[in-house]
Structure 1
Amino acid sequence: MVLKLYGDNSPVGGSGIVAMVLLEKKIPFELIHIDLSKGENKTPEYLALHQFGLVPIIDDDGFILHEARAICRYLEEKYAGQGTRFIPTELRDKARFEEGASVELTEFFPRLRRLAVELGFNPQQKASTDEAALPEAKAALAKTLSEYEWILSQQKYIGGDELTLADIFHLYSVPPLKRAGFDVIALLADKCPNVKRWYNDLVSRSSWVKLQEGIQSVAMY
C-alpha cells in the first residue's frame, strides 16, 4: 500500500517539509489534497484522523501519524537505508543533530511565530495592539539570527557538517512568511553571510525546487 500524505498541495508549512523528505528519501506517496480554504480539515471524516484538524497527516498502511516533525523523523528511521540520510548514527554527530533540532523548536520557531503574529499573518493569535511588540519581535529574531551566524561560522549546517532534519525543519516556517511579504533571511543578510549561505543551500536543493511547482503524488521511483 502506497503511503498517503494528507496536506495542502503548496509547499508551505508542515506539508512542504514532509513532501521534501519523501522526495529526498525516494518514497512513493499519494497526495490527498486537503483544501484548507474550504474547511476540508474540519470535516468529521478528517477530524477522525486528526483531532486538531491540522495538516499534514500520513497514512502508512493504516498507521496514522500527524505533526510534521514527528512524521519526518518516522520516515527517516523507517527508510534510513535509502535516499538522503537525515539523522546521523554516530553518537556525537547524532547529539549535535538533536541540539540543532532543539534550537529550531525552542529558539527559532517561537520567535518567528511571534513575528508572524505581530505582522498580522496570524491575527487570531494576536492578543493586543501593543505598538512596541513588533519592534521587539523583530529584535528578538535578529538576535537569534546573529546567534545562528556564530553557529554556522563553526559548521556547515545547524545540526553539524552534514544536512539533517534540523535544517529541513526551518523550511516549515521561513518560506510561508516570505510568501506573505516578509523576507526573514534578508533581515540581517549583510551581517549574517553564513546564515544566507546556509539558507540558500537549503532552498536550492532539487527536491525543494521541484516542490515549488506544487506537491504532487509520486507513484514509483
Structure 2
Amino acid sequence: MVLKLYGVSYASGGTGLVAMVLAEKQVPFELVPIDIDNGEQKRPDHVAKNPFGQVPVIDDDGFVLYEGRAICRYLAEKYADQGAPLIPGNLRDKALFEQAASVEYSNFFPQVVKVAMESVIKKDQGLPVDETVLGEELVKLSAVLDEFTLADLFHLCFAPSGIRQGGPDFIAGRGPNVTRWWSEITSRPTWVKLWEEGIKSIGV
C-alpha cells in the first residue's frame, strides 16, 4: 500500500515540509487533498486521523501519524538508507541536529508564523495589514535569523512566504552565513519543484 499524505496541495506549512522529505527520500506517495479553506480538516473522518483537526497526516500502510515534524523524523529514520541523509547517525551529530531543531521550533518558527499571519494570510483574506505590527515582527525575526548558520529543513515550513515580506535585501542583510544557509535550502531541486508546481502524488 502506497503511503498517503493528507494535506494541502501547495508547498507551505507542514504539508510542504513532509512532501519535501518524501521527495528527498524518493518515497512514492499519494496526496489526498484536504480543503482547509472550507474546513474539510474538521470533518469527523479527518478528525479520526488527527484529533486536532489539522494537516498534515500520513497513513503508512495503516500506521497513521500526524504533526509535521514527527512525520518528518519518522520518514527520515524509516528511509535512512535511501535518498538524502537527513538525520545523522553519530550520537553527537544527532544531538546537535536535535539542538538545531529545537531552536528552530522554539525561536524561529513562532516569529515566522507571526509575520505570515500579519502579511500573507491577511492579504489572502482581504483583511487590512497592520504595518506597525508587521514591522515589529520583522525586526524580531531579523534578530532570530542572525543566530542560525545550519541548513535545517524545518525552516521551510513557513519561512519562504514569511521572509519574503521583508523585501529582496532581507536575507542579504543578515550576513554571509545566513545568506549561504538560505541559498542552500531554497535552491535544492526538490524544494524548487515543490514551490513551483505544488504538491502532487508521485510514483503511484
Pairwise same-fold verdict (TM > 0.5):
yes
Residues 1:106 and 2:106 aligned together: yes
The answer for the alignment partner of 2:31 in structure 1 is 31
Residues 1:215 and 2:202 aligned together: no
Structure 2: unaligned runs, 5 residues or longer: 124-128
| Residues 50 and 66, structure 1, Cα contact 8 Å, conserved in 2 | yes
| Residues 116 and 158, structure 2, Cα contact 8 Å, conserved in 1 | no
User: How far off is 1:122 after superposition?
Assistant: 6.0
Structure 1: unaligned runs, 5 residues or longer: 124-128, 159-166
The answer for the alignment partner of 1:196 in structure 2 is 179
User: How far off is 1:176 after superposition?
Assistant: 3.1
Aligned length: 198
Summarize the Cα distance change of 1:99–1:122 in structure 2 as closer, same or farther, 3 Å threshold. Answer: farther
User: Which amino acid in structure 2 is aligned with residue 214 of structure 1?
Assistant: G
155, 158, 174: which one pairs with 2:159? 174
User: How far off is 1:11 after superposition?
Assistant: 0.7
The answer for the alignment partner of 1:161 in structure 2 is none
RMSD: 2.4
The answer for the alignment partner of 1:141 in structure 2 is 141
User: How far off is 1:56 after superposition?
Assistant: 0.6
Output the CA distance in 2 between the equivalents of 1:54 and 1:194.
34
Alignment identity in percent? 50
SS at match of 1:84: coil
**TM value normalised by structure 1:** 0.80
Offset from partner CA, 1:145-184 (integer Å, 9 cap, x none): 2222xxx2xxxx24xxxxxxxx110000112335xx6147
Output the CA distance in 2 between the equivalents of 1:83 and 1:26.
6
| Residues 174 and 184, structure 1, Cα contact 8 Å, conserved in 2 | no
| Residues 76 and 86, structure 1, Cα contact 8 Å, conserved in 2 | yes
Output the CA distance in 2 between the equivalents of 1:183 and 1:136.
11
User: How far off is 1:93 after superposition?
Assistant: 1.0
Summarize the Cα distance change of 1:191–1:7 in structure 2 as closer, same or farther, 3 Å threshold. Answer: closer
